[in-house]
Amino acid sequence: MVTPGGLVVLTDRRSASGPLVEVVRSAVRCGAAWVVLRERDLPYEERAALAAELRSVVPPSRLIVAGPDPLGGSAVHLAGADPLPTGRLLTDSLPAGSLPADPLPADPLPADSLPAGPLPAGPLPSGAARVGRDFSFPAERSFSGVGLVGRSWHGFEDLSSVDYVTVSPVYPTRSKPGYGPALGAVGAAAMKAPVPWLALGGIDSAERARECASAGAAGIAVMGAVMRTPSLARELAEAFASGTPRGSGTPGGSGTPGESGAGGGRRGLAAGQVVVSPGRRG
């Protein structure tokens, strides 16, 4: 599993110094390794079109979409309360199409999928997925192709099937005045995230970027500073790379495909959480 690292830029069209796509293009040229599309207030079609346009200027598979809908891509970043994408595979320890051994409550099936009633015993119906303790079935938009899931983490959100987290605010931030208290790079590291973590909040100087790298962050997530001055991306990316301890991985991503655990992403299940998605393997 390759997780975000180096400089990760979050979009904010309201603070951007020019057209958003052009600002992102400039930031990528200056060293941004990943981009997170926010803009969750946009109408669906407009946001989907923006995602498609951004994919033309961001390195392949390096656009992450905020929220559980990847908008045609394969990577999402969830707020603390966002649900996992429908059909997300939490474990490959169960054979496809089988039910877990623990007893299930008589939850109703979705009315638009199958007639209401108790959950079926034995194998799942074709195409069904179990998310948490609920069944879901393919809808008009299926998110089962999501291969990378991040989450905003404050030390208490469930990280089942999460590949990386953002920890914030590391420093006081101009984008969210009064948000905090600021953790500092050492304080963020002391939270001991069980997956690779990105430092977020107020990282607007080379000194702060190096501090985050030295503290063990896999990357730095920056919004306002780069939206206002895209060329700052070069200084931040270079500073973070210079502060990264030798042997800790490459500055553009951490982990390799197929890894698991703190260095490679996907974690184990929380109690009572299972997803079975036929035809998909981690």
Q: How do residues 127-147 score in pLDDT, each as one tens digit?
A: 433 333 333 333 334 456 899
Return the pLDDT at 107.
Answer: 34
DSSP calls for 250-270: -TTEES-TT--STTT----PP
Q: Are 137 and 129 in contact (CB under 8 A)?
A: yes
Regions of the chain short of the pLDDT cut 70:
87-144, 180, 246-251, 253-282
Return the pLDDT at 263.
Answer: 40
Token pair, residue 243, equals 């502060």
What fold does the segment set 3-87+141-254 form as a domain? TIM Barrel (3.20.20)
Return the pLDDT at 57.
Answer: 98
Task: Delimit the domains of the chain by residue range.
Answer: 3-87+141-254
Model pTM above 0.85: no
